[in-house]
Structure 1
Amino acid sequence: MRKITIFLVLVLGSWCARSQSFQGFLADNYSGVNSVIVNPANATDSRFKTDINFIGVSGFGGNDYYGVNILDALKGDYDFDLDSKKHPSESNNGELNVDVMGPSFMFNLTEKSSLAIFTRARSFVNVNDINGNTIDEIDNDETDDFMVNEGDFNAFGQAWGELGITYARVLFNEEEHFVKGGLTLKYLQGGGSAYATGKNVSVLYDADGAGPDSGSITTTGQLTYGRYAELDNDNYDYEIPKASGFGADLGFVYEWRPHYNDYVSTNAQGETYVRKDKNKYQLKLGLSITDIGAIKYKEGQEDVYDINAANVSEDDFDNADDVSSFLNDHYNNISSKTGYKTYLPTALHFNADWSFSSKFYVNLNTDLSLVSKDKLNTSHVSNIVSLAPRFESKWFSFYLPLSVVQNIGFQMGTGLRAGPLYIGSGSVISALISDDTKGADVYAGIKIPVYQGKTKDKDGDGVIDKLDGCPKEAGPAENNGCPWGDADADGVLDNEDNCPDVAGPVENNGCPWGDADADGVLDNEDDCPDVAGPVEQQGCPDTDGDGILDKDDKCVDEPGVPENNGCPLDTDGDGVYDKDDNCPENFGTVANNGCPEVTEAVQKALNNYAKTILFETGKTTIKSASESVLNDIIAILNEYPNAKFSIEGHTDSVGSEANNMKLSEGRASSVMNYLIEKGIASGRLSVKGFGESMPKDSNATKEGRANNRRVEINLVK
């Protein structure tokens, strides 16, 4: 019966499997090919040119029955029954997981896609729903008898190898937002499996039931026992079972990159380069489903037994060749079949990674089993939530994972990556400080990482080599990092040469002199390069032939004089050239041929002066006192040299009408003669007498008669 005791103790002392191997390490952006086992999308847009893993081993385990002090347990005299803490329930569980990642590598296919190939050996043991309340009965020191009311339980263990190929590519990349996806297909090779499930099982052991030296076993219930073909053979050379299958992993990663432009370089031609050696995200979210698949054991055997039997001899159990022989000899085989399937521990993974800086991160990871622990022939993982701050750089990373694990509780661990070496544990700290540790894990591995290189600028011109047309020779960014040349060897650098392919002088910005107006004078010697002109005039025309070149002539079509910029003179500035101006020295109007026009005010002023001209009584002789008035009249007439005036005489009614007519004419003639003598052209003047015929006032009064005796000077229109 000690076989049963040892079996149960080992089962319940086995360790509860974590859902994620290499705890803490797989969140590292430099975990490389290892990270594809948790999310295939990690293969692309990585920090590696290639990554080669030699060997990595991860072991996890725990149970929810025994809690131990690890430091004490390492001592030789530790007694699990006496020194450990026990947590019995009607449904205790135990699991074990070993994950060996063998030679694997990852490399980039294109800028947006990558490929990974990995090998992996794994084993899982799951024991569920063991009645922990009856375990103490087995090792009761007061009696060798015990009774176990187990009820329903299931136990399953399997080992398998994987050959996986992962393809990942960038699905969306729009600056701040980035999405990549990946798919892994796996060939599975079964390495061995066994399972047992019980319904309403109870075991009664009577230490003396079969005699003084042999106990007896009384059992009830139903037992299903499945195993791969060679398990029952105690002496055999291990052969790989005829068991194979296929599996798959699928994953996606989203990155929020608010500072995307900090990692992008652009050259003068608009070509861009995104730095591959730097993480660009502030927040990264990952979602994946792993271990979808099954393995078919073609030669596996499954038997169902009715184990209702009393007083079976312990000696028969101890001496049986194998478990199958014992069961077939002592219990009723209800059914039997050849071949069965085992299923992988399918799980959902959610990962969120926040970047505080280029080297400090915090990672939240949740792993959820997608299969029930009651599903037969299926490995399953324990659910876990972990929070792991980390320091991360190209050659060194350090992690501090804090986790809550189903059936185990809180765990705290640490790990590091130093170049090719990675080592750690998700539980080492909590295991060392707690006296009630229900689980522990450890991992270690070695690889060859080939990282993406930093962007280089060998010539130090500010243009990275990837975008530099002349990476070994400094040049300006606007010329793609190349120095400006002189393609036409004219002494003018191409960046300043308006004609870089044709030689030309410096003073013409590297272009040869042309003859734009085709007048035979080259532009550099042509004073009028856009208008044809004779050679003797330096290429400038003189349309009006006035000796003033058109470029300097404001009256191109009319001969003029130099002092008036090629235009005819206009001395008085009235817009009428002197040659056409009847009054060249008096400002006038065009309509009056350059002469001023006599206004009503001028006319009034003339008459105001004229009526003050004094004559000898009854005579035509002008009194000398009127000379100043006449001179004022002359000044006005000289201002309007183009105007003609009529000098008109008038008298009062004293005397005969004939005498008055003659007197008015004589006085008007005296005024005209005076004006002519003083230089007024005679052609401008005419005389007319009106006598007493046009009085301005009444002749009945002295004042009226005085107003009627007058001379008027009126404009002839």
Structure 2
Amino acid sequence: MKKLIVSVFMLFSICSFAQEHFSGIGTSKRIGILNANFNPAELANLSSKMEVNVFATSVNISNNKIGVSDITGDEDFEDLIFQGNEPVNLRFDVEVAGPGFAFRYEKWGFAITSKAYGKLNLVDIDANIGDAIANNGLNSLVNFTTLNGNYNQRLVGTTYGEIGLSAARNLWETDKYKLNGGATFKLLFPGSYANFGADQFEGTVNYIGGNSFLTNANASINVAYSGSLGSSFSDFDSYSDSVFGSLNGFAVDFGGTFTIKDDNDGYKFNSGISIRNIGGMTFKDENNSSTNYNLLIEGTESLNLSQFDGVDSLQEVEQILIDSGFLTSTSSSEDFRVKLPSVLNAYADLQVIPTLYVSVFLQQKLTDDAKNDQITAQNVVTLTPRFSLKNFEVFAPLSQTEIAGFNAGIGFRAYGFFIGSGSAFTALINDSKQADFYFGFRFGFGKS
């Protein structure tokens, strides 16, 4: 279990990336498939008659404990992440947009897109139990720690693929105004999943002779896994080799846009609202398992937490706990359904002068990250000033995120190529708790 937890923080040192994907470029004046990812109604506003997405990749990580400057320090990540009493939250997310095609025909816009996702998250992990497992209580000032977690603590990872079929239509238009509606129907291909949840975790950790022992404990435990993540949580191949499984889930996005036009086939003001990722997918595999347990340790009994040292899979964690005799199964199933992270997106982009725009973007999650069958999301607010020409843009997203707080970045677009980061500036000038990077290439053809 120690290896299982520490491997998460090794990802932080290897891949320093975070926040919402494609920060800044997603509200670009050059409207294309990326904009439609946030709101399918934008397809009726495509800047070109047709667009081809060649590739786009965004890698994100954010946390509430470790700053960028800590990466170059002498202290171990597990020592830093488990300091203090604030629960640990970490989000590691990768989104890869594969080949896609979009086109406009009269008042309609259509698209077919492909994506792959990989996620590894810590949700509200008690710093004291983490310190006990990873460090044998190194950060504790006394020889015992009382646990009183009145929430669900989760270690969760998932991979899945997606094919999107989108359509949008102009609903109303005058010389000055335009109103669109649109929807995306998503075919989901679940790859691999693993979840360890410990709800209402109470107990005492005693530190004796360099070891940590859990006593007088009770919790509701969920252990669920499917595919390769059940047998290895830290192996990168477990994520990359299991992205696309069989078709076994559906989801939908829908939204609308309102535009005030200018005199040059552009806009003075563009706004939109959408709800994304309504749906879920069912995981099925030969090693599928989802079991709910009650954990109960009473009297003089204790669980030696050093047993989890070197453990790298949920299957091993589950077996150690079962062998301890402290777990009682309450329900079990082979196949299980996982919900996508439904979010509300709202944005507005205002032309200040013909080459200067300012946009505001909001992402508000509509689901509860504490639930064991839920893929996580973040709340984000981003303000982006942008210098924009037809074939060139430079923009500087300023974001406030739920996990890592304030960050500032920069991005560029030259024709169809774009590159950027939502946290480059804050990572360089202060102790930012997130960093991110994205790039991609698409091209359009045909007059708008």
With the length of structure 1 as denominator, give the TM-score of the two structures. 0.54
1:433 counterpart = 2:429: yes
- Which whole-Å CA distance do the structure 1 matches of 2:206 and 2:118 have between them? 33
The structural deviation recorded for 1:31 is: 4.8
Structure 1 portions without partners, runs of 5+: 264-277, 454-717
Aligned residue pairs total 424
Judged with a 3 Å threshold, the aligned counterparts in structure 2 of structure 1 residues 433 and 318 are, in CA distance, closer, same or farther, namely closer
The structural deviation recorded for 1:7 is: 5.7
Cross-structure match for 1:114: 109
Cross-structure match for 1:3: 3
8 Å CA contact 1:17, 1:382 repeated in 2: no
Q: Deviations over 1:662-689 (max 9, x none)?
A: xxxxxxxxxxxxxxxxxxxxxxxxxxxx
Aligned 1:457-536 pairs, distance under 5 A = none
1:248 counterpart = 2:248: no
Cross-structure match for 1:308: 296
Cross-structure match for 2:319: 325
Cross-structure match for 2:38: 38
- Which whole-Å CA distance do the structure 1 matches of 2:421 and 2:95 have between them? 14
Cross-structure match for 2:392: 396
1:371 counterpart = 2:367: yes
Cross-structure match for 1:287: 273
* Higher mean displacement: 235-244 or 214-223: 235-244
8 Å CA contact 1:419, 1:449 repeated in 2: no
Cross-structure match for 2:200: 200
Q: Deviations over 1:10-33 (max 9, x none)?
A: 699999963x31000011122511
Cross-structure match for 2:381: 385
8 Å CA contact 1:188, 1:244 repeated in 2: yes
Match of 1:225 among 207, 223, 226: 223
The code of the aligned residue for 1:53 comes to N
The structural deviation recorded for 1:167 is: 0.7
Aligned 1:121-270 pairs, distance under 5 A = 121-132=116-127, 135-136=130-131, 138-139=134-135, 140-141=137-138, 147=145, 149=147, 151=149, 152-155=151-154, 156-201=156-201, 202=203, 204=205, 206=207, 208=209, 218=215, 220-233=218-231, 241=245, 244-257=248-261, 259=262, 262=263
The code of the aligned residue for 1:30 comes to R
8 Å CA contact 1:16, 1:382 repeated in 2: no
- Which whole-Å CA distance do the structure 1 matches of 2:190 and 2:88 have between them? 28
1:350 counterpart = 2:338: no
The structural deviation recorded for 1:381 is: 1.9
- Which whole-Å CA distance do the structure 2 matches of 1:425 and 1:192 have between them? 28
SS in 2 for 1:322: helix
SS in 1 for 2:283: strand
SS in 2 for 1:252: strand
Cross-structure match for 2:283: 297
Judged with a 3 Å threshold, the aligned counterparts in structure 2 of structure 1 residues 427 and 83 are, in CA distance, closer, same or farther, namely farther
Aligned 1:570-589 pairs, distance under 5 A = none
8 Å CA contact 2:289, 2:334 repeated in 1: yes
- Which whole-Å CA distance do the structure 2 matches of 1:340 and 1:15 have between them? 32
Cross-structure match for 1:570: none
- Which whole-Å CA distance do the structure 1 matches of 2:92 and 2:282 have between them? 22
8 Å CA contact 1:11, 1:127 repeated in 2: no
SS in 1 for 2:368: coil
* Higher mean displacement: 89-98 or 243-252: 89-98
Aligned alpha-carbon RMSD (Å):
3.4
- Which whole-Å CA distance do the structure 1 matches of 2:439 and 2:34 have between them? 12
Cross-structure match for 1:406: 402
8 Å CA contact 1:353, 1:363 repeated in 2: yes
8 Å CA contact 1:391, 1:397 repeated in 2: yes
Structure 2 portions without partners, runs of 5+: none
8 Å CA contact 1:67, 1:85 repeated in 2: no
Cross-structure match for 1:61: 61
8 Å CA contact 2:222, 2:372 repeated in 1: no
- Which whole-Å CA distance do the structure 1 matches of 2:310 and 2:42 have between them? 54
- Which whole-Å CA distance do the structure 2 matches of 1:233 and 1:84 have between them? 27
Judged with a 3 Å threshold, the aligned counterparts in structure 2 of structure 1 residues 120 and 378 are, in CA distance, closer, same or farther, namely same
8 Å CA contact 1:385, 1:404 repeated in 2: yes
SS in 2 for 1:3: helix
Judged with a 3 Å threshold, the aligned counterparts in structure 2 of structure 1 residues 149 and 17 are, in CA distance, closer, same or farther, namely farther
8 Å CA contact 1:361, 1:389 repeated in 2: yes
The structural deviation recorded for 1:324 is: 3.2
SS in 1 for 2:335: strand
Q: Which of structures 1 and 2 has the larger relative contact order (alpha carbons within 8 angstroms, sep 6+)? A: 2
- Which whole-Å CA distance do the structure 1 matches of 2:310 and 2:403 have between them? 37
Cross-structure match for 2:24: 24
The structural deviation recorded for 1:89 is: 4.2
- Which whole-Å CA distance do the structure 1 matches of 2:295 and 2:250 have between them? 36
1:98 counterpart = 2:94: yes
The structural deviation recorded for 1:94 is: 1.9
8 Å CA contact 1:229, 1:241 repeated in 2: no
- Which whole-Å CA distance do the structure 2 matches of 1:53 and 1:446 have between them? 7
- Which whole-Å CA distance do the structure 2 matches of 1:318 and 1:366 have between them? 41
The structural deviation recorded for 1:451 is: 5.4
Cross-structure match for 1:417: 413
- Which whole-Å CA distance do the structure 1 matches of 2:144 and 2:376 have between them? 32
The code of the aligned residue for 2:370 comes to D
Judged with a 3 Å threshold, the aligned counterparts in structure 2 of structure 1 residues 411 and 445 are, in CA distance, closer, same or farther, namely same
The structural deviation recorded for 1:107 is: 1.3
- Which whole-Å CA distance do the structure 2 matches of 1:392 and 1:12 have between them? 34
8 Å CA contact 2:2, 2:310 repeated in 1: no
8 Å CA contact 1:15, 1:94 repeated in 2: no
8 Å CA contact 1:305, 1:327 repeated in 2: no
- Which whole-Å CA distance do the structure 1 matches of 2:33 and 2:10 have between them? 35
- Which whole-Å CA distance do the structure 2 matches of 1:65 and 1:177 have between them? 47
The code of the aligned residue for 1:322 comes to E
Cross-structure match for 1:361: 357
- Which whole-Å CA distance do the structure 2 matches of 1:107 and 1:414 have between them? 29
User: Which one has the largest radius of gyration?
Assistant: 1
- Which whole-Å CA distance do the structure 1 matches of 2:130 and 2:36 have between them? 41
- Which whole-Å CA distance do the structure 1 matches of 2:164 and 2:77 have between them? 43
* Higher mean displacement: 128-137 or 287-296: 128-137
SS in 2 for 1:22: coil
Judged with a 3 Å threshold, the aligned counterparts in structure 2 of structure 1 residues 358 and 322 are, in CA distance, closer, same or farther, namely same
Judged with a 3 Å threshold, the aligned counterparts in structure 2 of structure 1 residues 67 and 230 are, in CA distance, closer, same or farther, namely closer
8 Å CA contact 1:59, 1:98 repeated in 2: yes
Judged with a 3 Å threshold, the aligned counterparts in structure 2 of structure 1 residues 311 and 399 are, in CA distance, closer, same or farther, namely same
* Higher mean displacement: 282-291 or 312-321: 312-321
The structural deviation recorded for 1:41 is: 1.1
Aligned 1:698-717 pairs, distance under 5 A = none
- Which whole-Å CA distance do the structure 2 matches of 1:414 and 1:287 have between them? 24
With the length of structure 2 as denominator, give the TM-score of the two structures. 0.83
- Which whole-Å CA distance do the structure 1 matches of 2:56 and 2:363 have between them? 21
Judged with a 3 Å threshold, the aligned counterparts in structure 2 of structure 1 residues 389 and 99 are, in CA distance, closer, same or farther, namely same
8 Å CA contact 2:78, 2:131 repeated in 1: no
Q: Deviations over 1:258-287 (max 9, x none)?
A: x5xx45xxxxxxxxxxxxxx31x2111111
SS in 2 for 1:394: coil
Cross-structure match for 1:680: none
